[in-house]
Amino acid sequence: MTKKELARQAVAALKEEYPGAVCSLEYQDPLQLLIAVRLSAQCTDARVNMVTPALFARFPTLEAFCEGTEEEIGELIRSCGFYNTKSKDILGMCKMIRDEFGGQVPDTIEELTRLPGVGRKTANLILGDVYHTPGVVVADTHCIRITGRLGLTDGTKDPAKVEEQLRPTLKVEMQLRQVLPPEESNDFCHRMVLHGRAVCMARKPDCPNCTLRPWCDFYTKS
């Protein structure tokens, strides 16, 4: 079986298992999603969803954020961790969107990754969820771990330590772009997160109940 055939099998299995492939972050517009994704770095989506209602109530528009201060934003996002850096990035990205992009969240990877605190993971997620452009959101430990275990990518030689190590995410992204159907790539990455949380955990995967077990290198070799 080729990697493209394997990818199609995995896409179909996960689609059946998780028909609702949506981002777990709560937002109302592209700017809110961009900010929520920045807050989610080294923080759970559940925690971000607890913080953003008050944040977006205080700063309901791009202009409101631009008129705010790092200190005020930081106080509202403190529980997400690294709040000083994140507040600086949020204020910086809002001002750049206002000053350089006409108040609209950019729609290309090149422009998005110019924004403070925005990497390829965030850019791909915005492209997929907002602009419906095929994106591969791989800077997530679940996606890197599971695609590595399936043999779709190089993954990691030690899946149990994927949470603790910096991964070459661009390489994984390029490998997945070569094998995933473009129209399925964004939802596939969302489903990877759901599957990684529920079944294919880093340290103790629930292989007997895994829908991907028939194609999993990690399972057959364990």
Continuous segment of H or E residues that includes residue 13: helix 3-17
Closest by CA to 143, choosing from 132, 159, 123, is 159
Q: Are 212 and 14 in contact (CB under 8 A)?
A: yes
Residue 140 annotated among the catalytic residues of the structure: yes
The catalytic position among 89, 121, 129, 187 is 121
Q: Residue type for 104, please?
A: Q
Residue 121 annotated among the catalytic residues of the structure: yes
Closest by CA to 37, choosing from 51, 29, 48, is 48
The catalytic position among 86, 89, 129, 140 is 140
Give the integer Cα–Cα distance in Å for 131 and 43. 25
Give the integer Cα–Cα distance in Å for 11 and 17. 10
Closest by CA to 34, choosing from 100, 99, 111, is 111
The number of angstroms, rounded, from the C-alpha of 121 to the middle of its chain's C-alpha atoms is 5
CA distances from 148 to 22, 91, 187, 215 (A): 22, 36, 18, 12
Give the integer Cα–Cα distance in Å for 111 and 115. 7
**Sole residue written with tokens 């990518």:** 153
Q: What residues act catalytically?
A: 121, 140
